[in-house]
Every structure is written in structure tokens, then in C-alpha cells.
Amino acid sequence: MTSQLSAAVGPDSTDTIPHLRSLTIRRPAMSEHGLLDYITRDDSLVWARRGEGTVGFGEVARFEATGPQRFTLARAWWAAISESAQVNNPLEHPGTGLIAYGAFAFSYSSTYASKLVIPRIVVGRNEECSWITYTVADAEAPLSIEAAESELAQLLEEYSPEHELTHGTDRLVAGQISEADYMDSVRKGVSVIETGAITKLVLARDAVAELASPIAVAQVLRQLALRYIDCWTYSVDGLIGATPEMLVRVRGDIAEARVLAGTLDRATAPLGDGDYARRMLLEDEKQRHEHRLAIDSLTEQLGPLASGMDAPDEPFVLQLPNVWHLASDVRATLSAHADGSVPGVLDLAEIFHPTAAVCGTPTKEAGRILRDLEGMDRGPYAGPVGWIDTRGNGELGIALRGGVVESPTSVRLYAGCGIVAASNPTEELAESWAKMRPMREALGL
């Protein structure tokens, strides 16, 4: 059963909330690459990093919404689902039991439908165990481990085909924003920053991969997961990629984030200079400034919600196959409300989004300027993507280094760059190409 809601979800609309039953069972331990064996279907839901994560199959319920209330409505729907569901989960680890995968539009004005999708079957692995969760919406349906395993075996047998190699005929074409237009908007962004109205603006652009034969999503995801081991590989309803940035991860009363800002392309690094990344990032004033703004925007919002917070004074250099980033890991203990509960991952995502790493500083003003200057609907690019469970745990990354599968032969890629007063349009354009490289390589372009 699929429940499509785009209007308000409140106490009066609980008749549209499906009553789900779910069963979670521990499975034999998987090897580190074990989870990849389940990424075989193009229609799977995926969240994976270093062999941990989940793969979801099928769909028992879905929520969709657009507009400024998209997070609030999603939270209300998920609260109603969680309250009415019968969850049999002896494992208790975050991510076991009933979960939903989510993808949210960057902007309240986007036409992209933000969504929560509850899969029928989830296979998961964390540092302690492996498990399967089976969820049904039909009151008569058998809810047994045998039914789950036999359905899973059949789903895995129907794996998706690999992408046909069509040498030279797959191509990357300009999207809504040409290279020249992008450099022009960077120039304008710098001028606005020089007026003092804002201190940082993140400007993005797109490019379209046109394929001669249908994209093999599962194959792309496996490649991203194997190569970008420090990133979170995601797939939610056509939104695919591998992001290095964690908007917020909640486990019990602990909230964590990985904040990135400051980028250096590895493709143009001089050979044999082992100190290059440290010098160009950690000792560069422009990069440090850009990073400081991103850290401050998160800690200012997290601080009042936490009884303790660990935010390092010094960032570290995160090395990915395509780029280096300035990175900071922030960890906080969440303060309890009067009833003893703490904010859940969706509550926090709504508060933190959009961060300075994808919008600018100060957020409201930068958002307004961004809408004027960028001139495109970002869709889910740079919005929260990931999963949530019924106890408030979850991981919502920022949908970067990815794209949207618009048709079987067309994928729109997105990338953006933090612009500060010292930014140079040519360098920012080159950086945006470097950020598209993971997807281009995985698509064979």
C-alpha cells in the first residue's frame, strides 16, 4: 500500500496513516563488503559507509510534501506512523526496527517533493550485528522471518542489469547554468559580499549526463561505496550519490555532525609535495575563513540544544579520492525536554538546514541572494538525505556529490562552491568540476 500525502498531517487525518507491523531479526554476521552484495537492484533504497548501513527493498508507505512546511509535515506523519505501528524489535540498535529513508528539497520554493519512504524489507549491518526488518501494511499479511527471507531471495534474484559500455556515446552536456553563467554569478556574488550584506554565499550549477543506454543505478552505487569509503553512499527514489558531509546523526542523546568547507582539487596537486594539502588548506586564510563560517553556523544552533558540546578549534584535512576538504567533527549531548525526551534527528535537521556550507552566512540573507543569483531549482541537491528510526535516531547527510536520475538515460549532476570575498570565478568553476568527478567517474564519463 502506498500512502501519498501532500496536504497537512494532523490529528484529523490519522485515517490516512497506515497501521504498520514490523519484525526485526538478527542475521548471521556479514563481511565488511557484505552489504554491497545487497545493492543489486536499481530501485533499492541505500545508505552505506565502510560496510555499515542499510539497503531497503519495496515500499509499504510514503509521505510527500512541498513548501515551507515540508519538515514539519514529515515529522507529524512519522510521529503518527511510529505511534500506530506494532514494532517487534529485540535488537534496539539505532536503525534496527521500523525505518524510513528520506530526501528533502533544499528550498521551500522547490517543486521537488520531499519524501519519507518506508521499505518493505531492510537488510542492515552495523559494528555489532546484521539484521533484517520486514514491514507489512496489510493486517492479514504473514509477518514471519520465513516470509521475509523468501521475499528477499526473490528480490535479489531479480537483480538489475549492468550498464552497457557504449564507448564515446555517453556524454555530459550543460545543464540550466552554463560555465559562463556560473562564473558570472560568482563574480556577482563576490560583489554582493564586498558590499558587506553577507560574508559567504554558496553558488551551485548543474550538468546533465546523457547516456546511450539506461543507467545502472546499483552499479554506480557499488562503485561509489567502494571508492568513496569516507562518504555516505545514498539512493532515495532517484537521488543518488556519495556525500562527505553529515548534517546530523543522532544516537540516543548524542548528536554529531561532520562540517566541511574549504576544498582543494587533488587532480592538480603537484606530485611529491606531501605537505601541499596542509599548506593550501590549513594555512590558507580564505579557506580557514570559509570553514569558520560553516562551523559557527552549526554550533550557534546546536549550542542552545545541548548540555555539552565538543567542537574542535582546529579543523583537519579530509582526503577523498577527488579532493581534500577542511573538516570538523562536532559532537554534542542533547538536553532533555521536560518529559525526558531529546530532539530527534528530523527535528535537528529542520533547525540546521540549510547550513553555511550549502547556503551562506548569514543564512536568511544568503538564501535570498542565492535564489536570485543562482537561477535554478536545486531540487533535493544540498538538502538532507538519509534515514530515521522510530526512536528519533537517524543519519541525515547533505545530498552533495550526487545527482538526480531524471529518466533512465539522463542524470542531472549538481555541485556548488562557497564564495567569499577572495573567491575567483575560474577557480570556483574548476572546483565545481572536481566535485562532480565522483559521479562522472561512476557513470564512466
Tell me the closest approach of the beta carbon of residue 381 to ligand ISC, in angstroms: 7
39 touching ligand ISC, by CB under 6 A: no
- The residues that bridge with 318 in the sheet, in sequence order, are 325
- For cell 543518488, the residue is 240
CB 406, min distance to ligand ISC, A: 18
Maximum C-alpha span of the chain: 66
In the complex with ligand ISC, the residue whose CB is nearer, 218 or 240, is 240
353 binds ligand ISC (CB under 6 A): no
- Select the residue interacting with ligand ISC from 21, 75, 258, 325 (CB under 6 A): 325
CB of 194 to ligand ISC, least distance (A): 19
Q: Contact between 75 and ligand ISC (CB under 6 A)?
A: no
Nearest approach, Cβ of residue 260 and ligand ISC (Å): 4
Residue nearer to ligand ISC on the CB measure, 116 or 400: 400
Is 344 in contact with 76 (CB distance < 8 Å)? no
What mask of x and - would describe binding to ligand ISC in positions 261 to 290, judged by CB under 6 A?
Answer: xxx---------------------------
Cell 506523519: give the residue. 77
Q: How far apart are CA 429 and CA 177, in angstroms?
A: 12
Distances (CA, A) of 395 to 15, 49, 326: 29, 11, 21
In this complex, which beta carbon is closest to ligand ISC, that of residue 95 or of residue 241?
241
To ligand ISC, the closest distance from the beta carbon of 159 in angstroms equals 30
Alpha-carbon distance 222 to 38, whole Å? 10
For residues 300 and 315, give the distance between their C-alpha atoms in angstroms, rounded to a whole number: 17
Q: Is residue 399 within the footprint of ligand ISC (CB under 6 A)?
A: no
Separation CA 441–CA 443 (nearest Å): 5
Q: Which of 35, 293, 415, 439 binds ligand ISC (CB under 6 A)?
A: 415
Report, in Å, the least distance between residue 261 CB and ligand ISC: 5
Measured from the CB of residue 401, what is the shortest distance to ligand ISC in angstroms?
6
136 binds ligand ISC (CB under 6 A): no
Nearer to ligand ISC, 244 or 343 (CB): 244
Applying CB under 6 A, among 334, 345, 400, 439 the residue interacting with ligand ISC is: 400
193: Cβ contacts below 8 Å, ≥ 6 apart: 199, 200, 201, 419, 420, 421
Q: Which is nearer to ligand ISC, 137 or 358 (CB)?
A: 358
In this chain, which of 245, 347, 389, 395 binds ligand ISC, going by CB under 6 A?
245
Which grid coordinates are listed for 262? 574549504
Q: By CB under 6 A, is residue 216 in contact with ligand ISC?
A: no
Residue 396 host element (H or E): strand 394-398
Tell me which residue of 245, 301, 278 sits closest to 418, measured CA to CA: 245
What values do phi and psi take at 106, rounded to 5? -60, -45
User: Residue 372: exposed, middle, or buried by beta-carbon count in 10 A (0-12, 13-18, 19+)?
Assistant: exposed
202 lines the binding site for ligand ISC (CB under 6 A): yes
Question: Whole-number minimum distance, CB 162 to ligand ISC, in Å?
Answer: 27
Integer CA distances (angstroms), 430 to 178, 352, 403, in order: 13, 28, 18
C-alpha cell at 122: 531492510
User: Residues 261, 315, 256, 364: is their CA dihedral positive or negative?
Assistant: negative
When asked if residue 357 is in the footprint of ligand ISC (CB under 6 A), the reply is: yes
Work out whether 416 is an interface residue with ligand ISC (CB under 6 A). Answer: yes
Residue 253: CB partners within 8 Å, gap ≥ 6? 333, 334, 336, 342
Candidate ranges 185-193, 226-234, 297-305, 412-420; the one touching ligand ISC (CB under 6 A): 412-420
Q: Give residues in contact with ligand ISC (CB under 6 A).
A: 202, 204, 245, 260-263, 325, 357-358, 400-401, 415-418, 435
